[in-house]
Structure 1
Amino acid sequence: MEPSETVRLLWDRMRARDWAGVGALLADDVIVDWPVSGERIRGRENYVRVNAEYPEGWSIEVLRVVASGHDVVSEVEVPHDTMGTHRVASFWTVRDGLITEGREYWTELGADPSPAWRAAYVERV
């Protein structure tokens, strides 16, 4: 399986809440960093559990997946019924069909204030 297919399957299985299927795509010793919150998730079981225990009310829309060799980048939108819409840019390493490491940048849309000095150069999205 191509590395990009592995990452697409990861998001498909997360959307389906197929936690065993998510785990099957991860190396046992996978490491995933969340730099925005300053956290590191070490190991397949921890990554699966942190996602499985996220409060319900969410869905997933994959916006894009781009791959180069073993490196795969995905951009995903995660709307939640009560917590707003989040966006994640994820950088994955996939070897032999398994995700071995990742770095995910999660943010809530519109969470960062736009400084007044940029107003003349930008438009709100």
Structure 2
Amino acid sequence: MEEDQILEALNAHWQASAVGDANAEHDIYDDDAICDYPQSGERILGRSNLQALRSHHPGKPSGFQVKRIIGQGELWITEYTINYQGQLAYTVSIMEFRNGKVVHETQYFADAFEAPVWRSQWVQQIT
């Protein structure tokens, strides 16, 4: 699969995620895909389990914003935010492709935090 086709598939995946289309969202995954959540120590085996898990999330996201997608070959990274009940979760998804499908994804989630005043002279605020 060419890189422009992977980017197109990723954009369709994230758009489907944003509108809650669980079927279209999971088209990108291989049947035997693995998804890891390192922070909770969980591994989801198979597209059907991943779709079921996400479909039963009790606090469905109310907003979703892709910041950037970068990648090359079979390794692609997406930075995005998810709004869960008024709280932003800053998220990084690392996807490994084989034969045009995601075979392994690792997702990292981080909560926003207040920037310490002591370092304000060296930084700029970003959104």
Please state which band the TM-score falls in when normalised by the shorter chain: 0.7 to 0.9
Partners of 2:104 and 2:61 in 1: CA distance? 27
AA at the equivalent of 1:109: A
Q: Which has the higher contact order (CA 8 A, sep 6+)?
A: 1
Query: What is aligned with 1:6?
Result: 9
Check the 8 A contact 1:3/1:97 in 2, yes or no: yes
* TM superposition shift of 1:95: 2.2
2:48 aligned partner:
45
Q: CA RMSD in A?
A: 2.3
1:59 and 2:63 aligned: yes
- Assess if the C-alpha contact under 8 Å between 1:25 and 1:98 holds in 2: yes
Partner of 2:77: 73
TM-score of the aligned structures, taking structure 2 as reference length: 0.81
Q: How does 1:1-125 map to 2 (within 5 A)?
A: 2-54=5-57, 55-82=59-86, 84-110=87-113, 119-120=118-119, 123=123, 125=125
Q: CA deviation at 1:119?
A: 3.1
Contact kept in structure 2, 1:3 and 1:71, CA below 8 Å: no
Equivalences, count: 120
- For structure 1, the 5+ residue unaligned runs are none
In the TM superposition, residue 124 of structure 1 has moved relative to its aligned partner by: 8.4
Compared CA separation, residues 77 and 93, structure 1 to 2 (3 A): same
Percent same amino acid among aligned pairs? Answer: 21
